Amino acid sequence: MNVTTVSYQIYKQAQHDSIAIPLKMSKNIILFISLLLILSILPRTHATVKYSITNTATQTPGGIRYETQIGFKHSKHILKSSNLFIWRLFQQRIKAERANVTHVHLLIDDMDGVAYCENNEIHVSARYIANYKADDIDDDVKREFNGVMYHEMTHVWQWSGNGSTPGGLIEGIADFVRLKAGYIPSHWVQPGEGDTWDQGYDVTARFLDYCEGLRNGFVGELNKKMRYGYSVDYFVDLVGKSVDQLWSEYKAAYHL
Ligand SMILES: [Zn+2]
């Protein structure tokens, strides 16, 4: 059935009441159906990602705290917002630029540690949630959860140079995303602190933030370069200096 047929039928059915109104209606319907047709032929550049959440620790103090102080609704919001934030930061505007992921599953598990990501599943420790104590008045378990989620969601989308990127850089990028999202925990090192650039986590995240200051979009571009491999020379390619030189200049900038 094409557009003309639909509008005609509407007009015929309504013509006993009025001519003017059905004509207007049919125009709106043509517009609406045209819009549907346009949407259906648009390339799927914004393919959706399905999110699901499972609390496997409902009977534990952490599982209960998760449901009362964080909850499924908030988790779904954070899954989606962290995902979109990472695509923006990684400059992954179209599907071809991203990892082939269609489903991200969050699980709250009765386990040690904080969280990990494997096969697009983010596992967060219910015990960590149960024992989390805020450091200051602006902090709470929900804020900490958000930070953990930005870190873990980064692992879903970041490239690893086919497994050749140093682990410290992988973790540093995940914490850099957390930093940029505004969820820096109070226990982190201060800018300029740390022993080596690839120490990982907060140390590397702070260093990457320094590099980002030298070249806007640095981390996103570095990630793009790591799609199929890794070389320490990527730092030279992007900012014209070796990573060792950058690290010593970074330390010097903070008199450390
Ligand atoms: Zn990690």
Q: Are residues 31 and 131 in the same domain?
A: no
Helices vs strands, H then E, count in the chain:
11, 4
Q: Are residues 94 and 137 in the same domain?
A: yes
pLDDT at 35: 56
Q: Give the strands of the sheet with 115-118, arranged side by side.
A: 50-55, 103-109, 121-125, 115-118
Query: What distance in angstroms lies between residue 177's CA and the mean position of ligand 1's atoms?
Result: 11
Q: How many folded domains does the chain comprise?
A: 3
Query: What distance in angstroms lies between residue 156's CA and the mean position of ligand 1's atoms?
Result: 10
Write the pLDDT tens digit of every residue in 91-136: 999 999 999 999 999 999 999 999 999 999 999 999 999 999 987 6
Query: What distance in angstroms lies between residue 213's CA and the mean position of ligand 1's atoms?
Result: 23
Residues near 228 by beta carbon (within 8 Å), at least 6 away in sequence: 159, 161, 162
Q: Are residues 194 and 113 in the same domain?
A: no
Q: Are residues 128 and 205 in the same domain?
A: no
Last residue of a domain, one of 130, 157, 184: 157
52: left (phi over 0), alpha (psi -120 to 50) or beta: beta
Q: Are residues 151 and 178 in the same domain?
A: no
Q: Are residues 51 and 35 in the same domain?
A: no
Query: What distance in angstroms lies between residue 201's CA and the mean position of ligand 1's atoms?
Result: 8
Compute the distance between CA of residue 165 and CA of residue 161 in angstroms, rounded to an integer.
5
pLDDT at 1: 34
Compute the distance between CA of residue 210 and CA of residue 249 in angstroms, rounded to an integer.
10
Last residue of a domain, one of 157, 184, 213: 157
Q: Are residues 116 and 180 in the same domain?
A: no
Q: 12 by DSSP, 3-state: which?
A: helix
Residues near 212 by beta carbon (within 8 Å), at least 6 away in sequence: 176, 218, 219
Query: What distance in angstroms lies between residue 232's CA and the mean position of ligand 1's atoms?
Result: 20
Query: What distance in angstroms lies between residue 19's CA and the mean position of ligand 1's atoms?
Result: 65
Q: Which of 47, 151, 149, 152 is nearest to 102 (CA)?
A: 47
What percentage of the chain's residues is helix, strand, coil (to nearest 5)?
55, 10, 35
At 193, the amino acid letter reads: E
Give the domain CATH number at 85: 1.10.390.10
Write the pLDDT tens digit of every residue in 10-69: 233 333 333 344 555 566 655 555 655 555 544 444 458 999 999 999 999 999 999 999
Compute the distance between CA of residue 204 and CA of residue 176 in angstroms, rounded to an integer.
8
Q: CB–CB of 148/108 below 8 Å?
A: no
Query: What distance in angstroms lies between residue 251's CA and the mean position of ligand 1's atoms?
Result: 24
Q: Which domain holds residue 130?
A: 44-157
Query: What distance in angstroms lies between residue 200's CA and the mean position of ligand 1's atoms?
Result: 9
Query: What distance in angstroms lies between residue 155's CA and the mean position of ligand 1's atoms?
Result: 7
Q: Are residues 125 and 89 in the same domain?
A: yes
Last residue of a domain, one of 114, 132, 157: 157
Query: What distance in angstroms lies between residue 240's CA and the mean position of ligand 1's atoms?
Result: 28
Q: Are residues 8 and 55 in the same domain?
A: no
Q: Are residues 188 and 213 in the same domain?
A: yes
Q: Are residues 224 and 177 in the same domain?
A: yes
pTM of structure: 0.81
Q: Are residues 80 and 54 in the same domain?
A: yes
Compute the distance between CA of residue 111 and CA of residue 58 in angstroms, rounded to an integer.
13
